[in-house]
Amino acid sequence: MDNLWIAALDAADRKRIEPHLTEKPFSQGQMLYDAGESVDEVWFPMSGVVSLMTLVDEDRMIETAAIGREGLVGVTCGPLNARAASRAIAQVDGVSACCPADVFADALSHSEGMRTALSKFTESLFAQVQQVAACNAQHRLDERLARWLLTIHDRSDADRFALTQLDIAGMLGVRRATVSEVGSALEEKGLIRRGRGWVEVLDRKALEGASCGCYALMRGVMKDLGVPRPKAAAH
C-alpha cells in the first residue's frame, strides 16, 4: 500500500478497509469536494498532492493545508461530520485509494488503533492549518514561498512538478506578478528552476534555509505525534 497512513495500520485494521478501496486518479485542478458539500468518500492519496482551500470571498481562496500519501482527505468532514468545511483541490496529479465514508466510520467504531491513528493525523493536520495561518499573516513572501515549495516537494514523486505562477499565487493568496518577482529571486540564488508550467527544486538544503521556521515546526509536530512523514524524492 503506497498510502503511508494505511500502511502503518496493523494487518487486522488494514483488512477492515482494504477490500472496500477503489483506485481513482485525480488531476491538477480537480475538485474532490467543495465547502458545504456532503462527503461520502475518504481519499487516501498514494501519489500526488491535495490542497485544502479556505474561501476568503466569492472570488478568492487560500490554501490552509496540503495532504499527500502520508494522510487522508475527507476525514475532517467525512464519517464524523457530514459536510465539508473547506474545498479540496488536487494540486499535483496523482492516484488515490477511496473508501466509502460509512465503511470507514464502521471500521473506526471497531478499532481503537484506527481511532488513535486518525486522532494523531487530524492533530497534525490542525497544527498545519494553524501554522500556515500564522505564516501567511507574519512572514515575508519569499519565506512563505520557500515553505510552500518544500511542502509540495515532500509530497511529490520528483524534484520537478507541474505548477504555474497562477497556481502558486492562488495557493498563497497573492498577485501573480508578486510570485513572479519572488520566484525570480529564488531562481537567481540557484534554489529552484522554473519553466512554462513547472517548477523544479535544485537545492533542497538551501531552500530549507530560505524558508521561515514554520516548515520545520510542522515537520516537528508530525515527528512528535508519530505520524508518517512524507519524504521528497531527493531528500
Rounded Cα distance between 95 and 52, Å, is 17
> What's the pTM?
0.89
Q: List pLDDT tens digits, range 181-219.
A: 889 999 999 999 999 889 999 999 999 999 999 999 999
Which pLDDT tens digit goes with each residue over 13-72? 999 999 999 999 999 999 999 888 888 899 999 999 999 988 777 677 888 899 999 999
pLDDT tens per residue across span 66-123:
999 999 998 754 445 567 878 899 999 999 999 999 999 999 999 999 999 999 999 9
